[in-house]
Amino acid sequence: MPKRPPITNRVRELREAHGQMSQSALAKEIGVTRQTVIAIEQGKYSPSLESAFRIARVFGVGLEDVFGWEGD
């Protein structure tokens, strides 16, 4: 069983709260594929620092409001 990255995120929650934004729309905004957005939301992929900042900027929140460390 592959080990998941120890980074949690609220991407799906924020996306749905942001006018029910689609995964495709978010992907276009941050410059990644829809598959990558799916992987991020499922906790299967930790985005690069740049993509993490882009996600936070799309939702108008800070980085720590989107991402967290497992167990915190």
Partner 1 sequence: MSFWEKGYLATAGAVALAASAYAYIIWQRSVELAAVVAPDAASFVTYVAVIVVLSALAFIIIASRDATKTGADDALVDGYDERDRMIGDMANSQSHHVTSVGVYIALLAFIVHGSGNVLFYSVLGALALGEISMCLLRVFHYNRAY
* Binds partner 1 by CB under 8 A, chosen from 46, 54, 57, 61: 46
Q: How far is the CB of 33 from partner 1 (least distance, A)?
A: 5
CB of 10 or CB of 46, closer to partner 1: 46
Specify the stretch interacting with partner 1 by CB under 8 A; choose among 13-21, 38-46, 56-64. 38-46
Q: How far apart, in whole angstroms, are the C-alpha atoms of residue 24 and residue 22?
A: 5
Tokens of 24: 């495709």
Cα–Cα distances (Å) from 50 to 2, 17, 67, 71, in that order, read 25, 22, 13, 24
Query: Which residues form the interface with partner 1 (CB under 8 A)?
Result: 2-5, 24, 27-28, 31-36, 39, 43-48, 51
